[in-house]
Amino acid sequence: MMMQKKYLLIYEEISKQIQEGHFAPKTILPSENEFADSYQTSRETIRKALNLLAQNGFIQKIRGKGSLVLDLKRHQFPISGLVSFKELAENMGGKAETKVEEFTLQQAGREISRELNVDDDELAWKVKRVRHIDSERVILDKDFLVEKHVPGLTKENCENSIFEYIEKKLEKKISFAKKEFTVEEPSAEDRMLLDMEGFHAIVVVKNYIYFDDATLFQYTESRHRPDKFRFVDFARRMDTPSL
Amino acid sequence: MMMQKKYLLIYEEISKQIQEGHFAPKTILPSENEFADSYQTSRETIRKALNLLAQNGFIQKIRGKGSLVLDLKRHQFPISGLVSFKELAENMGGKAETKVEEFTLQQAGREISRELNVDDDELAWKVKRVRHIDSERVILDKDFLVEKHVPGLTKENCENSIFEYIEKKLEKKISFAKKEFTVEEPSAEDRMLLDMEGFHAIVVVKNYIYFDDATLFQYTESRHRPDKFRFVDFARRMDTPSL
DNA sequence: TGTTATTTGTTCGTATGTATT
DNA sequence: CAATACATACGAACAAATAAC
């Protein structure tokens, strides 16, 4: 009887306890063997959970000593990863609203077909959304989704969360994403759709999003007013970085 | 006879072969058992290497099928992580030069002591460096290093690589870092030390860098001219985790 | 369609090496 | 030196997804 992913459950339980302060920063966690005992599992399973915690910046494993609880959340909790607008808005602490400016199904065309790695005449959803925070128009999202991979998308889905539609309704798994950050001068469209008075730059995040089976299904260009942009990254070094 | 980290060697060998095209994108790697045979090792060791490859965006593991070689490196090589200026400059493809504008040892003071999490009167190196690319002054780095953790630093070290001094001379291990990206208006200092004509924004990267034992030893504020800034991030979802 | 073989995912067990206390 | 704790490695069994016949 092979159970579910035990190490994931343990990871979530320990990470929760760290965030709630049951395991305080700068203290050492119970040893791997102690965890293995208390969770009635093997040490390897515990190690998988602890490695996840280390990867995500919760702990630092120190050989011979133990697993030290880190205190990286002093300023800001690491949010690197696939962050949705809703989470971002909450982090900003303001009232968030989304307005769909455009919602069409059309052929990809030269530019987008290259980004999505499909033929020119492949059908793609084009979604243009303006994100409001505290009644200010601060983010412009332009999403392009391959129709055959995301069938049945509606304007209503876009007003909520496209990710939610994909994962809960279509039951497909979003697996990884490549993001590219640059800073450009605002375009005419930026000035038209966003409240850009007094701002002379726009943060452009190009986001390529992939399914479980490594098919690219979405390209998003997210354009942020600079004062409402922040990105936090937690990076762990490889033992031998030979890039 | 416990050898070196076998899975790391295997990781490097396979990643090299992928980058050199011996394993082509969109093809399936040999199975884990085949690798285990050919490397004369156990499947678990192979799996550790493959998980590293997946983490770093080289492959996508698909259950029941195999490990698919990804093609993410074509446009832009992911450089998320602890990137030094030298690597960045090479990526930009220009001639890089570093000029040390200031090099002092002083008490941390109110502001910096908070960033470095030490007492106000703790001694800290202050290093101010201007990075030139193609004879243009485009990046201003302000480093603050806790003296007791990085003793004997010299101006010459700063002209080369501080990381190299720490890892090779002091033989300490840099383990992880937390980065925070924001965009601000250029300060008077930015305009003084950088070639900012025609640019109205500056990309600020606050970098907190930690040793092996989780001690914070360096805080760096890196201020980039927007046209010379780019950051690429590869993020994998937690669903099918690694290790 | 259904069965079988292949391949990856998870768990458990055991042994040994390395660093810290 | 001994005990503790994390790191690496090998082996085995079974689950789940896929592919092939």
| Residues from chain A contacting residue B182 (CB–CB below 8 Å) | 226, 229-230
Q: Residues A143-157: what's their mean pLDDT?
A: 95
- Helix A43-55 × helix A6-19 angle, to 10°: 50
Domain boundary (B36, B51, B69) is at B69
- Helix B6-19 × helix B43-55 angle, to 10°: 50
On whether any CB of chain B is under 8 Å from the CB of A229, the answer is: yes
> Shortest CB distance from A200 goes to which of B200, B212, B227?
B200
Distance of alpha carbon A217 from the chain centroid: 16
CATH of residue A52: 1.10.10.10
In a domain, A238, yes or no: no
**Tokens representing A59?**
């702990």
**What single letter denotes the amino acid at residue A202?**
I
Model confidence at B197: pLDDT above 80: yes
Provide the CA A237 to C1' D3 distance, Å, integer.
31
CATH of residue B210: 3.40.1410.10
In a domain, A15, yes or no: yes
Q: B164 falls in which pLDDT band (50, 70, 90)?
A: confident
pLDDT given at position A242: 36
pLDDT given at position B37: 96
Q: Please give the residue of chain A at the shortest CA–CA distance from B70.
A: A214
Give how many domains chain A has, as a whole number.
Answer: 2
CB contact under 8 A, B178 and A72: yes
Among the listed residues B52, B134, B126, B131, the one whose alpha carbon sits nearest the alpha carbon of residue B99: B131
In a domain, A88, yes or no: yes
* Locus of tokens 């205190």: A71
Model confidence at B147: pLDDT above 70: yes
| Residues from chain B contacting residue A212 (CB–CB below 8 Å) | 62, 240
Give the Cα separation of B153 and B125 in Å (integer): 8
Say if residue B63 is in the same domain as residue B161. Answer: no
**Tokens representing A55?**
């990867």
Say if residue A55 is in the same domain as residue A101. Answer: no
DSSP designation for A212: T
Say if residue B61 is in the same domain as residue B84. Answer: no
Residues with CB under 7 A from strand D: A 1-2, 29, 31-34, 44, 47, 50, 61-67, 239; B 2-7, 41-45, 48, 62-65
Say if residue A223 is in the same domain as residue A204. Answer: yes
In a domain, B217, yes or no: yes
**Buried residues in B199-211 as b, exposed as e (16+ CB within 10 A):** bebbbbbbbbbbb
Q: A228 falls in which pLDDT band (50, 70, 90)?
A: confident
Domain boundary (A17, A39, A69) is at A69
Domain that holds residue A61: 2-69
> Virtual CA dihedral for B152, B158, B164, B169, nearest 10 degrees?
-20
Closest chain A C-alpha to B93 CA, distance in angstroms: 16
Say if residue A102 is in the same domain as residue A42. Answer: no
State pLDDT tens for residues A59-99: 999 999 999 999 876 655 545 554 556 556 666 666 788 99
CB contact under 8 A, B241 and A8: yes
**Which residue's CA shows the smallest distance to C1' of D3?**
A64
Among the listed residues A239, A242, A222, A243, the one whose alpha carbon sits nearest the alpha carbon of residue A85: A222
| Residues from chain A contacting residue B57 (CB–CB below 8 Å) | 176, 178
